[in-house]
Amino acid sequence: MSHTFDDKIIIPSLQEQMGLALGGEEIITPDTGVYFSAEEIDITIYDKIIICMSGGKDSWATLLHLYDIGVDRSKIELWHHDVDGREGSTLMDWAFMADYNRKLAEHFNHPLYFSWLKGGMEREMLKENEYSQPHMIETPDGLLELPRDTKRSKPSTRLKFPQVGANLQTRWCSSALKIDVGRRQLTNQTRFDQKKVLFITGERRQESSNRAKYNQFEPHMVDCRAGKKGRHVDVWRPVLHWQEDRVWDALQRHGVLAPVPYRLGWGRSSCMTCIFNSPTIWATIREYFPEKIMPIASLEDRFGTTISRDRINVLDVSNKAKPMEISDLVALDQAMREDYILPVVANAEHKWVMPAGAFNESVCGPS
Ligand code: SF4
């Protein structure tokens, strides 16, 4: 490891940017430090390896990289954050994404645990002088509903979409729907006490100038290895330094078919109606999935605030570009379904091909 950063500066500033109330968790500054570059680590010391699996190419790359370096596969479990929750909202996510994750976990024989903010992003956005909804956490022992600490927080109002930008306090979707949920998933399971846990995410520096500044290895914000619980949690971003061609090479070598969004032409697989979508993506959604864009436009009207900083509603944004022409009709059919019916890995009928969205970073922004 090289380029050691001062953990007294970096960790507090990261926590501040994330805007996370740590709920009384004991935070210990670990003596292992924070590393800007950590392409290789001693992974054998960990009891449990958690991969945040979105179902996109970069989280796939992290899983496949662990296979390549010979990790004990029995230590791996996958976590997937449902951005729409399970209470009926379909505002943001791809219809098949939850089932796709189920199928990929089954295929590679890893446990998969879903977690979500109750009501998903839509319910959080509609919050009006009230507390946020509970977190829902799947565990080996069943589903937990974790209420909010009403003594430490106050009722508040959103009534607008997250604001496009790097600041996680105004672009609150990543922290409210993913980071915060994962944090509570770690702190509310005693199975992690007295254990060494490696928490893996799939960001790459190439994706954005913001991600270019990320550390590759650091203690997780809920690490308390020196505390009573003895919960040692490190974060590792094993593909942070990878270029996109290395990602596709990993998928191809392991025979993992390109996830559906890339086959449709998307450069990223994240929320289908991500606030960072380009005019081309919005035009494509309007053309092929009109039922997904209209609710977004209605909410913009209701809030009186658009996603676009230029104050143009999403329909007008979509009018600024031509839709992509989707030629992969098998993928298009899959995109309309909730059940994932395609194979996860290539076979005689479904050969591996580089998808239309590969190396197409111009059409989507960072998550
Ligand atoms: S994918 Fe886009 S909309 Fe979804 S959480 Fe990330 S930034 Fe927010």
Domain ranges of the chain: 2-244, 277-339
Question: Ligand 1 pocket check: which of 18, 84, 275, 308 to mutate, most ligand atoms within 8 Å of Cβ?
Answer: 275
Pairing of strands 48-52, 196-200: parallel
Token reading at 202: 């799939």
Domain 2-244 in CATH 3.40.50: yes
Within 6 Å (CB) of ligand 1, which residues are found?
Answer: 83, 92, 162, 173-174, 177, 270-271, 274-276, 367
**Residue 287 Cα distances to 263, 283, 292, 343, angstroms:** 16, 6, 10, 26
**Tens-place pLDDT, residues 267-300:** 999 999 999 999 999 999 999 999 999 999 999 9
Average pLDDT over residues 134-161: 95
Residue of minimum CA distance from atom 7 in ligand 1:
367
The pLDDT tens digits for 2-57 are: 333 333 333 333 443 333 333 333 333 345 689 999 999 999 999 999 999 999 99
DSSP assignments along 36-94, one per residue: EE-S---GGG-SEEEEE--SSHHHHHHHHHHHHTT--GGGEEEEEE-TTTTTT--SSS-
pLDDT digits (tens, 9 = 90+) for 192-240: 999 999 999 999 999 999 899 999 999 999 999 999 999 999 999 999 9
Q: What is the pLDDT of residue 362?
A: 55
- pLDDT value of residue 360: 87
Q: How far is the CA of 270 from the centre of ligand 1 (A)?
A: 7
Please give the pLDDT value at position 170: 83
pLDDT, residue 169, reads 78
Could you give the CA distance from residue 165 to residue 309 in angstroms, rounded to a whole number?
10
* Best probe residue, ligand 1, of 91, 93, 173, 203 (max atoms within 8 Å of C-beta): 173
| Distance, CA of 365 to CA of 207 (rounded, Å) | 8
Instruction: Indicate the average pLDDT of the chain.
Output: 90
Please give the model's pTM, rounded to 2 decimal places. Answer: 0.90
* pLDDT at residue 344 is higher than 60: yes
Take atom 8 of ligand 1 and give the residue whose Cα is closest: 173
Q: Which two tokens stand for residue 139?
A: 């565990």
Residue whose CA is at the smallest distance from ligand 1 atom 6 = 367
